Structure 1
């Protein structure tokens, strides 16, 4: 016995329009927006608490092109532009051609001031002062700071020194919640780098107030190594963060970085 197939027979097989992502990926979740950073005591680097930091500051993707542009801009701005290379009009030679134009079998040459000569003048010589400075959009430069900090955080080279205001943690003897040390002798720095096995690494100390770490500054100046530097938070450049293999930054300075370089980011 045959059954008549009508349009109403296929009404149950109509394809429904997918309007929600949750129907396709029922277990999908949004990635976390924050990472955990450890607060440490100095100089033992003993951890005592953690606090959340937005991923935009410590977990931004690596952008080598942005870091390159920031480093080039900083190096351009360091150029003094005080050189006065002699131009063709400033050189001591005359304007007479060294050889006649034709008949010698040699290539055509100009006068002795030509830049192709060994003792010739400089082509397009400039007179001081020369301004070699360049600029970047603020959003791009801020992204370079966040990228550099994120790279240091992922590599485990970022150490945040401080203490929570409501914390009751007691530090070990000789430790503190800032980068200041109890003596200005270089022996303290020698013990610090040897105990953490970082003798051959570039160390960067970022402080909230440059004058509050007088002992640390004097001890580093007396220490026989050029791989250690102390900078106030406003003086730190992207190149300093990239060059450093260990970064020790005070909590207040880190908060300043978070406020200063996320101005154009919607958190």
Structure 2
């Protein structure tokens, strides 16, 4: 009855809406999967592990891109450098205020009648020999705060910048000489052309022979322990030689925070 009223075209359209078409599941071709993987950034960086003191390549070591693949962030580096410089300030200045100058509090000139500008007591901070306004007394703490995530990011950014420039040398074993004689340091510097180059050596522990061979004649070769390394040390150096154990320590100490997993 209703079919006769609506007509054959309307009935066919209604039947088409009732039945649902489920398309077959087709796996993507292998070329599409390869393209999707190529679009992702690399997860590892290859570093060359070298021997010391020859600095000859020994093997390749993959390192996570979160450690050596950070983009250059000058703002983070600047904040880290300011933070370290504030921490290094001693705060030993001890200036005298106007109350500590020992002068009389009497006005040097009457308030009115002299025809000249009014003047306070001799200890006024406006005078060249007066006390200092808001004088600081030792010890004064100049240190400022910086979130740990920002400082860790700045440290990894500095390491990544040195790695991208090709100036990072990871040493297998200990970065130490057989002898502590100055000739060992002279030969090492002359062989690699480090005479006029600021070189930073990051060690896992104190290396006595390396220290004795370079302390007198090579002031531009700086030796720093892994625990006291600063971002400023990395930025000032043109070549960075680091022991593998110290490099692993820095990677674990300043690793980025893991993202919070999403709950589905």
TM-score, structure 2 normalization: 0.79
Shift of 1:116: 3.0
Gaps in structure 2 of 5+ consecutive residues: 1-12, 14-27
From 231, 249, 263, the equivalent of 2:224 is 231
Instruction: State the SS of the aligned residue for 2:93.
Output: coil
Per mean C-alpha deviation after superposition, the further-off stretch among 237-246 and 76-85 is 76-85
What does the per-residue CA deviation read over 1:188-209, in whole Å, with 9 as the maximum and x for residues that have no partner?
1122122212212211111111
C-alpha separation in 2, matches of 1:129 and 1:89: 19
Shift of 1:257: 0.8
Which residue does the alignment assign to 1:221?
Answer: 215
Q: Contact conserved, 1:145 with 1:261, CA < 8 A, in 2?
A: yes
RMSD: 2.6
Q: 1:214 to 1:107 in 2, by over 3 A?
A: same
Which residue does the alignment assign to 2:174?
Answer: 178
From 56, 75, 91, the equivalent of 1:65 is 75
Which residue does the alignment assign to 1:31?
Answer: 41
C-alpha separation in 2, matches of 1:105 and 1:250: 76
From 205, 213, 218, the equivalent of 2:201 is 205
Give the number of equivalent residue pairs: 231
Q: 1:146 to 1:107 in 2, by over 3 A?
A: farther
1:96-245 to structure 2, matched below 5 A, reads 96-104=106-114, 106-162=116-172, 177-210=173-206, 213-223=207-217, 225-245=218-238
Q: Contact conserved, 1:185 with 1:222, CA < 8 A, in 2?
A: no
Greater C-alpha Rg: 2
Relative to total residues, which structure has the larger helix share, 1 or 2?
2
Shift of 1:91: 0.9
C-alpha separation in 1, matches of 2:117 and 2:183: 67
What does the per-residue CA deviation read over 1:99-140, in whole Å, with 9 as the maximum and x for residues that have no partner?
333455544433222223222222211222212221211111
Gaps in structure 1 of 5+ consecutive residues: 1-7, 9-21, 163-176
From 27, 52, 59, the equivalent of 2:62 is 52
1:87 aligns with 2:97: yes
Q: Contact conserved, 1:205 with 1:231, CA < 8 A, in 2?
A: yes
C-alpha separation in 1, matches of 2:116 and 2:242: 66
